């Protein structure tokens, strides 16, 4: 008598495995690209490549010894204008960012180097106007409350759905203890909450920046483990003839 096969990743047909694999591949590439984007934006906040605690502090708490505009020109926006142009703008900021100098010279620097993004992309300061530039030429107090609110709800809603579907696929794995599987599935959601909460806490005090680094590493490791285990069991297990009668969704 043929042994009954359970409903799990190794037992799935080619169609469902292809569906799950397509989703995991797109999500995997998307997360790698997101990591690159973080390195090129937040990771350059201190002027050096690579994400550090200082980058997190500058991004959310700010560098309260200088303006946000100056810090960006010496950091993530350094390659967007020549050294001479950056020096002109920084000098203008340090001298009080007067309207007369803006009209006579500085406005042209922004028109040539900045407004193709700042003034077109929603959420970025509008550098077509003196008022828009003046708003970031003040002491750098990090992310604003409005931007934190916007980014927080986008991350909580969007990334939670990614973890939901990755966890759903991973829940069909076999040979992993129920407690370990439950822990790995829950971890990304917990770390996501800690991550977003740490942005707000870092805005208040820079010492909380460590929580951003720890939580980011935590949900990256957990989701990476789920991704790898799911891919292995969908393709390597059937290739090696490994099967199981486990029913992860139904077994108590």
Which of 117, 134, 151 is the last residue before a domain boundary? 134
State the residue range of the domain holding 171: 9-43+143-239
pLDDT digits (tens, 9 = 90+) for 192-210: 999 999 999 999 999 999 9
pLDDT digits (tens, 9 = 90+) for 39-97: 777 766 656 677 788 888 888 887 766 677 887 787 778 888 888 888 888 888 878 78
Highest mean pLDDT among 64-73, 110-119, 172-181 belongs to 172-181
Average pLDDT, the chain: 87
148 & 37 share domain: yes
pLDDT digits (tens, 9 = 90+) for 123-145: 778 888 888 888 787 777 778 89
Residue 38 belongs to some domain of the structure = yes
Residue 157 belongs to some domain of the structure = yes
149 & 233 share domain: yes
233 & 159 share domain: yes
149 & 38 share domain: yes
Q: What are phi and psi of 174, to 5 degrees?
A: -125, 160
Domain count, the chain: 2
Please report which confidence band the pLDDT of residue 121 belongs to, taking 50, 70 and 90 as the band edges. confident
pLDDT digits (tens, 9 = 90+) for 10-26: 999 999 999 999 999 99
Please report which confidence band the pLDDT of residue 1 belongs to, taking 50, 70 and 90 as the band edges. very low
Residue 1 belongs to some domain of the structure = no
78 & 39 share domain: no
Answer for the pair 148, 203: CB distance below 8 angstroms, yes or no: yes
Residue 220 belongs to some domain of the structure = yes
Residue 112 belongs to some domain of the structure = yes
Residue 179's Cβ-count burial label (10 Å; 0-12, 13-18, 19+) is: exposed
Residue 248 belongs to some domain of the structure = no
81 & 123 share domain: yes
126 & 160 share domain: no
Block residue for tokens 């973080």 = 38
Q: Give pLDDT, residue 47.
A: 63
């Amino acid at each position: 008598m043929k042994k009954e096969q359970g409903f799990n990743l190794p037992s799935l047909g080619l169609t469902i495995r292809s569906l799950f694999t397509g989703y995991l591949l797109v999500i995997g590439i998307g997360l790698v690209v997101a990591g690159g984007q973080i390195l090129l934006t937040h990771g350059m906040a201190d002027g050096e490549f690579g994400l550090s605690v200082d980058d997190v502090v500058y991004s959310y708490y700010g560098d309260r010894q200088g303006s946000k505009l100056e810090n960006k020109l010496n950091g993530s926006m350094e390659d967007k204008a020549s050294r001479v142009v950056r020096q002109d703008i920084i000098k203008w900021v340090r001298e009080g960012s007067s309207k007369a100098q803006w009209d006579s010279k500085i406005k042209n620097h922004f028109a040539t180097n900045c407004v193709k993004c700042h003034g077109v992309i929603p959420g970025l300061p509008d550098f077509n106007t003196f008022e828009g530039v003046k708003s970031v030429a003040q002491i750098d107090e990090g992310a604003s409350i409005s931007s934190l609110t916007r980014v927080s709800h986008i991350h909580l809603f969007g990334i939670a759905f990614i973890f939901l579907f990755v966890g759903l696929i991973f829940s069909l794995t076999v040979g992993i203890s129920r407690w370990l599987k439950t822990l790995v599935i829950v971890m990304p959601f917990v770390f996501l909450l800690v991550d977003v909460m740490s942005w707000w806490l870092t805005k208040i005090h820079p010492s909380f920046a460590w929580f951003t680094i720890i939580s980011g590493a935590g949900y990256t490791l957990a989701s990476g483990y789920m991704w790898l285990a799911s891919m292995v069991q969908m393709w390597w297990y059937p290739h090696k003839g490994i099967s199981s009668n486990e029913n992860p969704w139904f077994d108590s």
